[in-house]
């Protein structure tokens, strides 16, 4: 079946994917008719997929929970939040920590009370934390040791309860362990929670100015999860298993990126609830440790930023390891270099190599593709995930553009955010008549494949010619000595801007500008070839989202121009 045929088959034959239309704020949307109304319902309905709770579920280092034990811990912590800390429907609870089991437990406990989980970046400075705490006004903040130390000086001015966990236990007024162990009051009654109620606030990366708090509803979260459920159901319809194929392995997800970002929270953690998957949390990314975890827990799904796929590939080659359980290797958060697609497919022939595009504002839902389609179009992002999303490519005047023309991608679906917290002007600028203006430039071909070219703000304008940074980076990544590249604008008296690039090279390798230019001559138009390059053997700086920090790299290169080659 084609994607369209498989989608229609599921809509007509599987009640889980039956469609309807809903009206939100006067705007009509396509929506699932029969999905759970809230994230708490999603957890409870997941019991059946997890062997009525008996299946092993959450793993972290030497700790593990069955699904039933995990859900019981969620209910117990809901009692602590409600009975001891006074959290009620509409309150906000901030979670500021690394990937500890307490984070998913508290996420669902907060949701069950009709309160809102606020995910704060664990790498923020004190000033950034101060801004976000003032912005969201939480009743309680849960933090690990490093974050407790950063938040303590801010506590008195904001007036919340601070609870330390793990290495933060004993550093502040409340201890997670002590509160948990002291509570004997049982599970509180669930308040009435509506699908349009707020589930979470997740802050955007904040590459310019303060980060924006993206408000995500229960309906948005559950809609995104069921769109991924549909992708899983579509796969065997498009490529049915052969009669002699072995039975599929139980789904097992490795969570390597921070749970305070959408890539880990939505298509991994929340998706695991109805899909029956076990999850393993990594405290800190290490490719060789990931190999051990994949072997030990028979991990089938690996989803991380592209540099993690590259790290895993290198570690497997160095250790001569085999990872036969892997069935899916996805990339999110940034575009994977095209050259990496075939390298992964050759190293992991049993796995579907996948790419995806989504936003914090869409609960990570968006565009994607896998397998042969991806191998044939490694520069593309894929198809719009069915069945409730709508997409347009528009020009600056808001007019629809035909296939093949470049414009801004705008998306409409029930998975889109409700608003930016406390920022009505930014909300009105981004959400217009139900359409989310992504700020990403792209085009769609006649077959419906979307190619993302760049952020609108990441365009270099050289003498009137628009140059997408991702276009330049994609060509540079094809050089065998380049591990990663970051292109950016350099000021030029004559042309206004020209292209510069910072390169992370393989150990022992080096490049000069002329050698790179010769390599790129048949791969890029001449005006897109970098005028200056900066080379190093260390990874390029990253922003809090684990994406390459283009602004910081550009500033460092300009400040240290004497190191350019």
Give mean pLDDT, residues 301-309: 89
CB distance 23 to 242 below 8 Å: no
Q: What gap in Å lies between CA 460 and CA 61, rounded to an integer? A: 45
Please give the tally of structural domains in the chain.
Answer: 1
CB distance 487 to 496 below 8 Å: no
pLDDT in the model for residue 454: 72
Among 10, 2, 1, which residue's Cα sits nearest to residue 388?
10
In which band, very low, low, confident or very high, does the pLDDT at 209 lie, cut at 50, 70 and 90? Answer: low
Q: What's the gap between Cα 199 and its chain centre? A: 17
The verdict on residue 192 lying in a domain is no
φ/ψ of residue 444, rounded to 5: -120, 140
Has residue 260 got a pLDDT over 70? yes
Length of the chain equals 565
pLDDT in tens, 188-197: 998 999 999 9
DSSP state of 80: I
The verdict on residue 162 lying in a domain is no
Has residue 485 got a pLDDT over 70? yes
Lowest-pLDDT choice from 146-160, 393-407, 533-547:
533-547
**Mean model confidence pLDDT for the chain:** 92
The verdict on residue 490 lying in a domain is yes
Sign, CA torsion 512/513/517/523: positive
The verdict on residue 199 lying in a domain is no
CB distance 44 to 50 below 8 Å: no
Question: Phi/psi zone of residue 474: left (φ > 0), alpha (ψ -120 to 50 degrees), beta?
Answer: alpha
Helix or strand run (H / E) with residue 534? strand 532-536
Q: What gap in Å lies between CA 354 and CA 366, rounded to an integer? A: 13
User: Any idea what the CATH number is for the domain that residue 538 is in?
Assistant: 3.30.300.30
Crossing angle of the two packed helices 338-347 and 306-319, in degrees rounded to 10: 40
Q: What does the radius of gyration of the chain's CA atoms come to, in whole angstroms?
A: 24
The verdict on residue 523 lying in a domain is yes
- Residue whose entry in the numeric block shows the structure tokens 């589930």: 199
| Dihedral angle over CA of 11, 277, 298, 233, nearest 10 | 0
The verdict on residue 194 lying in a domain is no
| Dihedral angle over CA of 175, 144, 119, 66, nearest 10 | -80
Which residues lie closer than 8 Å to 23 by C-beta, 6 or more apart? 29
Beta-bridge partners for 486: 502
Give mean pLDDT, residues 64-86: 97
Domain containing 521 equals: 463-563
pLDDT in the model for residue 186: 86
Beta-bridge partners for 116: 92
Q: What gap in Å lies between CA 534 and CA 558, rounded to an integer? A: 10
Q: How far is CA 113 from CA 132, 188, 266, in A?
A: 22, 8, 20
The verdict on residue 294 lying in a domain is no
Has residue 227 got a pLDDT over 60? yes
Q: Where are the beta strands (DSSP E) in 360-495?
A: 366-370, 383-384, 390-394, 407-412, 419-420, 431-432, 435-444, 450-455, 459-462, 465-468, 482-492
pLDDT in the model for residue 305: 82
Give mean pLDDT, residues 416-434: 95
Lowest-pLDDT choice from 174-178, 183-187, 417-421, 515-519:
183-187
Sign, CA torsion 149/153/157/162: positive
Which tokens is 393 given? Answer: 């490519």
Among 101, 97, 109, 183, which residue's Cα sits nearest to residue 148?
97
Give mean pLDDT, residues 326-337: 84
Q: How far is CA 400 from CA 341, 408, 436, 454, in A?
A: 32, 10, 14, 19
In which band, very low, low, confident or very high, does the pLDDT at 82 lie, cut at 50, 70 and 90? Answer: very high
Q: What gap in Å lies between CA 343 and CA 70, rounded to an integer? A: 38
Count CB neighbours of 372 within 10 A: 12
pLDDT in tens, 374-413: 999 998 999 999 999 999 999 989 999 999 999 999 999 9
pLDDT in the model for residue 466: 67
Angle at 101 between CA 71 and CA 194, to 5 degrees: 50
pLDDT in the model for residue 546: 61
CB distance 110 to 87 below 8 Å: yes
Pairing of strands 435-444, 278-281: unpaired
Among 36, 39, 16, which residue's Cα sits nearest to residue 387?
16
The verdict on residue 494 lying in a domain is yes
């Amino acid at each position: 079946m084609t994607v369209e045929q498989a989608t229609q088959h599921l809509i007509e034959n599987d009640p889980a994917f039956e469609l309807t239309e809903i009206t939100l704020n006067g705007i009509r949307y396509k929506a699932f008719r029969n999905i759970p109304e809230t994230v708490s319902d999603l957890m409870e309905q997941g019991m059946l997929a997890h062997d009525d709770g008996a299946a092993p579920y959450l793993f972290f280092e030497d700790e593990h929970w069955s699904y039933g034990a995990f859900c019981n811990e969620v209910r117990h912590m809901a009692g602590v939040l409600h009975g001891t800390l006074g959290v009620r429907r509409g309150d906000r609870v901030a979670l500021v920590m690394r990937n500890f089991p307490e984070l998913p437990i508290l996420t669902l406990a907060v949701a069950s009370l009709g309160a809102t989980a606020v995910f704060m970046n664990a790498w923020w400075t004190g000033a950034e934390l101060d801004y976000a705490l003032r912005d969201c006004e939480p009743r309680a903040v849960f933090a690990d040791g490093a974050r407790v130390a950063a938040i303590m000086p801010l506590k008195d001015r904001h007036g919340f309860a601070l609870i330390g966990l793990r290495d933060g236990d004993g550093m502040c007024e409340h201890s997670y362990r002590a509160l948990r162990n002291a509570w004997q009051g049982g599970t509180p009654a669930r308040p009435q929670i509506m699908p349009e109620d707020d589930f979470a606030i997740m802050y955007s990366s904040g590459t310019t100015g303060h980060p924006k708090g993206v408000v995500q509803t229960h309906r948005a979260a559950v809609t995104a999860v069921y769109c991924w459920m549909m992708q899983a159901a579509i796969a065997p319809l498009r490529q049915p298993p052969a009669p002699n194929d072995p039975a599929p392995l139980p789904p097992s997800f490795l969570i390597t990126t921070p749970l305070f970002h959408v890539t880990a929270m939505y298509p991994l953690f929340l998706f695991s609830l109805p899909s029956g998957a076990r999850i393993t949390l990594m405290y800190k990314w290490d490719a060789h440790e990931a190999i051990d975890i994949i072997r030990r827990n028979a991990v089938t799904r690996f989803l991380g930023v592209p540099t993690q796929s590259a790290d895993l590939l290198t570690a497997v080659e160095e250790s001569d390891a085999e990872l036969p359980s892997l069935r899916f290797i996805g990339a999110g958060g940034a575009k994977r270099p095209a050259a990496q697609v075939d390298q992964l497919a050759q190293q992991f022939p049993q796995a579907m190599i996948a790419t995806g595009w989504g936003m914090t504002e869409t609960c990570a839902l968006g565009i994607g593709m896998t397998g042969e389609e991806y191998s044939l179009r490694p520069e593309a992002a894929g198809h719009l995930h069915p069945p409730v999303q709508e997409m347009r490519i528009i020009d600056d005047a808001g007019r629809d553009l035909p296939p093949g023309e470049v414009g801004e991608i705008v998306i409409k679906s029930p998975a889109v955010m409700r608003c930016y917290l406390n920022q009505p002007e930014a909300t009105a600028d981004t959400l217009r008549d139900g359409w989310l203006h992504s700020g990403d430039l792209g085009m769609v071909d006649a077959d419906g494949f979307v190619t993302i070219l760049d952020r609108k703000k990441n365009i270099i304008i050289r003498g009137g010619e628009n140059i997408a940074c991702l276009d330049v980076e994609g060509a540079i990544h094809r050089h065998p000595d380049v591990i990663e590249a970051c292109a950016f604008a350099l000021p030029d008296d004559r042309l206004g801007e020209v292209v510069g690039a910072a390169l992370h090279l393989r150990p022992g390798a080096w490049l000069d500008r002329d050698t790179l230019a010769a390599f790129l001559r048949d791969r890029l138009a001449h005006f897109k070839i970098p005028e200056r390059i900066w080379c190093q053997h260390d990874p390029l700086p990253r922003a809090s989202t684990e994406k390459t920090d283009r602004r910081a790299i550009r500033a460092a290169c300009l400040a240290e121009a004497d190191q350019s080659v």
